[in-house]
Amino acid sequence: MLLMRQEGTSARVMSCPPKRQHMVKVYRASDSEGIDKQGYSAKYVADIVFRSPVGTAGVILVNLAAGKRTAPHSHSHLDELFVASGPARIGVDAKVHDLETGDVLLVERSEVHWMEAPADRNVTLLAMKLPNIKTDKVDH
């Protein structure tokens, strides 16, 4: 991106780095094949490559009461990965994502997001902060 800045009678061209493109990715458990093993079955739901080294991870159980929604917020220095234990809705920037059991959603740093339980039932989301920075929260 180029910006023009007027200074007196001459214009100066300044180069600015392009804004980073965010791309929310939802990994659907229903799109994954189940594998039957001895005594259990497994689904490989997501294969995620992070843009920068993670180092640490914080694992949080987010319990939402029926019909409740979290306040919109973002994180300046971490990505957040969510795994749904049942039907849930997560808004990221201007898009709403309806999740089912086992779906995985990755929210990248600076993306404004919120979570919501269905009107008729509680839901638990497994959230992972990558890296684990407990104080990195920006309310919107």
Query: Are the beta carbons of 66 and 121 closer than 8 angstroms?
Result: yes
Domains, the chain, ranges and CATH? 21-139 (2.60.120.10)
Tokens read off for 4: 């023009």
Residue by residue, DSSP assigns 108-127 as -TT--EEEE--TTS-EEEEE
Query: What is the value of pTM for the model shown?
Result: 0.79
Helix (H) or strand (E) holding 131: none
Q: What is the pLDDT along the chain (140 residues), one digit of tens a residue?
A: 233 333 444 444 444 434 455 568 899 999 998 899 899 999 889 988 888 888 999 999 999 999 999 999 999 999 999 999 999 999 999 999 999 999 999 999 999 999 999 999 999 999 999 999 999 999 99
- The Cβ-side half-sphere exposure at 27, using a 13 Å CA radius, reads 16
